[in-house]
A and B are shown apart, each in its own frame.
Chain A
Amino acid sequence: MELFSHLALGFEVALAGTNILYCLLGVILGTLIGVLPGIGPVATIAMLLPATFVLPPVSALIMLAGIYYGAQYGGSTTAILVNLPGEVSSVVTCLDGYQMARQGNAGKALAIAALGSFFAGSVATFLIAAFAPPLAEFALRFGPADYFSLMVLGLIAAVVLAHGSLVKAVAMIVLGLLIGLIGTDVNSGIARFNFGLPELIDGVGIGPIAMGVFGFGEIIRNLDVRGENREIFTKRVTGLMPTWKDIVAATPAVLRGTALGSFLGILPGGGPILGSFSAYTLEKKLSRHPEKFGKGAIEGVAAPESANNAAAQTSFIPLLTLGIPSNPVMALMIGAMIIHGIQPGPQIITAKPDLFWGMIASMWVGNLLLVVLNLPLIGLWVKLLTVPYRLLYPAILIFCCIGVYSINNAWMDVLLAAGFGFVGYLFGKLDCEAAPLLLGFVLGPMMEEHLRRALLLSRGDPTVFVTRPISATLLVLAVVLLVLVLAPAVRKKREEAFVEEG
């Protein structure tokens, strides 16, 4: 079968001496970052982007992907042991995981989280291998109008799934699109919105924005809230192996979590956060003992952890087949690909099969490494959590600053990032979620380009978006999504779903 020969090629690349080392390095760094509360995968990838410049593109992307799913694993460790979500996607794991730890079952919770994640990761890897190639082939038939409509659908989906006010999320997207347009207009050569600064002629880089809003802004916010009491279960991590009874209880939850997470990960705007929240809600609904949730139910750890890992993997599907990011981390991956001279899009599979299949195989390898490494290393991660924040954040800052500078060797970028740091802090104060902004920022120039091309080809006739079957279907889907979300019944459900995260 073709699939197996492809996977064989992939494993050949992924297991090649240096690549497996970078995969290992990536998952360890990712876990480290995931364990530390207050710095997320977006800031980390932006920070470590320059460090991958010296690597060949395949190794670089393998390492960056490793950071991403390593962070999902690390986040759950912190959630279970300290009741602090290392990552947003592990917020729900806190609910039952921490309770299990308090009952002396920390080891079991960690083991179930790791094994569930591994299972989910394996399934998701297989899904990518099976579905990405046909999807990419289909995507080759897309014209400019279809791409434009696809991006509209993607951005609308991002709004629907964002928490908080819908209108504000739309406004954040538009703001992101506008920031993305800063710089030289490719058609006319005019420098737009550069406010006379020559440094802005090439536009604002994704590094300063991601680092400023998601890194610096977050650090200042953390300094606002100080003196939290952390109760760490350092010594009681014993009895890692779950009993047969635990496995029987967790298996259906893992299966459902994997299925739900895989599906939600593919949707633009979805990803691990939504996956874990919905999986938890689903388990609670289906359970015969819903009252056990929040008091240390093993299903409450197994389902969200499987779901967030599955979603983390499958969110690579739109990136690798359409060149469209489904969440901020994928937006950064696009940036990374472009820096390494790879144009993201459906042509990757045929033009660079070693890169495509190597990355996919490395995801499975990375997940295996995580399971093997993480359980023995838990003691080390726990120690890390005892480092006071006053020593931690200057270290994070210096890595971030060097990272921002090195992407373009531009000191102006460091200053820009500081500015975006304030903007990020402001967004936090005003309850404006920043993820849609970053998606808009990446899609801004692409959207304008496709819109211009589509209307040029149709001689200014806007009906082209509804007369082309692919474009029309995508737009109908977008409208359906919007109507669904605005419908009173769903609206109430959506609010309920997001209340859980508190």
Chain B
Amino acid sequence: MAIRIRNPRDFWSGVMFVAVGALFAGISISYRLGTAARMGPGYFPFVLGAMLVLLGVVIAFTALKTDGPAVDKFHWGPIFWVLGSIVLFGVLLKLTGMLVAGVGLVVGASMGSGEFKRREVLILAVGLSVFCAAVFVGGLKLPIPMCPGFDYFERFSLCRV
């Protein structure tokens, strides 16, 4: 009898839980488990990891017996542009400071909307970056780098809004 996945959403959730649970339980073993009275660092996470594996198995097996909707298509475009530009922001923040990072984030993320208009996006990017610099660094005095890595520029007031 061929096995058929009748509830894909639940089945793959189950697989995910098994994988993550096994990962955590596996790593826990390398820490000291200890006894119930004197628990080591591995005790509680090992129990939880094992529980997660068990739950995952139950979920995956139930998904073979009951019907459910298919997993919707993944839209890789928005995923790539939105998450990619967030990563870019994190990296640029360290290298070039907030103004450049902000422009990069807004431009990059806008690519994901599928209705990219160059002029509009540029105005939005510059406007938002300057606004955020003024509010968060100028107004709230949060210690966000404006343009680190460029010692030369740091002497100018722009970098110390």
For A393, give its contact among B28, B109, B132 (CB under 8 Å). Answer: B109
Contacting pair A405 B10 (CB below 8 A): no
B42, B79, B86: residue with the most chain A Cβ atoms closer than 10 Å = B86
Contacting pair B52 A223 (CB below 8 A): no
A339 close to chain B: CB less than 8 A: no
Contacting pair A175 B83 (CB below 8 A): no
Please give the number of chain A residues whose Cβ is less than 8 angstroms from any Cβ of chain B in the complex: 64
A288 close to chain B: CB less than 8 A: no
B94 close to chain A: CB less than 8 A: yes
A42 close to chain B: CB less than 8 A: no
B91 close to chain A: CB less than 8 A: yes
Expressed in whole angstroms, the Cα–Cα distance for A411 and B129 within the complex equals 17
Chain B residues whose C-beta falls within 8 Å of the C-beta of A14 in the assembled complex = none
Contacting pair A216 B41 (CB below 8 A): no
Contacting pair A220 B83 (CB below 8 A): yes
Interface residues of A in 232-248 (CB under 8 A from B): none
A456 close to chain B: CB less than 8 A: yes
**Chain B nearest CB: distance from A166 CB in Å?**
10
Q: Nearest B residue to A403 by beta-carbon distance?
A: B136
Chain A residues whose C-beta falls within 8 Å of the C-beta of B20 in the assembled complex = 175, 178
Chain A residues whose C-beta falls within 8 Å of the C-beta of B48 in the assembled complex = 174, 177-178, 181
A442 close to chain B: CB less than 8 A: no
A431 close to chain B: CB less than 8 A: yes
Chain B residues whose C-beta falls within 8 Å of the C-beta of A415 in the assembled complex = 86-87, 90-91
Expressed in whole angstroms, the Cα–Cα distance for A376 and B20 within the complex equals 51
Expressed in whole angstroms, the Cα–Cα distance for A365 and B19 within the complex equals 49
Q: Can you add 17 more A-B contacts, CB < 8 Å, to A223-B113, A452-B39?
A: A171-B56, A178-B20, A192-B27, A192-B31, A193-B24, A220-B79, A223-B82, A391-B120, A397-B86, A401-B105, A402-B98, A402-B136, A402-B142, A418-B83, A425-B74, A431-B9, A459-B37
List 20 contacting pairs A-B, 8 Å CB cutoff, sorted by A.
Answer: A53-B142, A178-B49, A181-B44, A181-B48, A216-B82, A216-B86, A220-B79, A223-B112, A390-B113, A395-B128, A397-B85, A399-B132, A402-B132, A402-B142, A411-B94, A414-B93, A415-B90, A455-B37, A456-B37, A460-B36
Binding site for B on A (CB under 8 A): 50-51, 53-54, 165, 167-168, 170-171, 174-175, 177-178, 181, 185, 187-188, 190, 192-193, 216, 219-220, 223-224, 226, 389-391, 393-395, 397-399, 401-402, 405-406, 409, 411-412, 414-415, 417-418, 421-422, 425-426, 429-432, 447-448, 451-452, 455-456, 458-460, 462
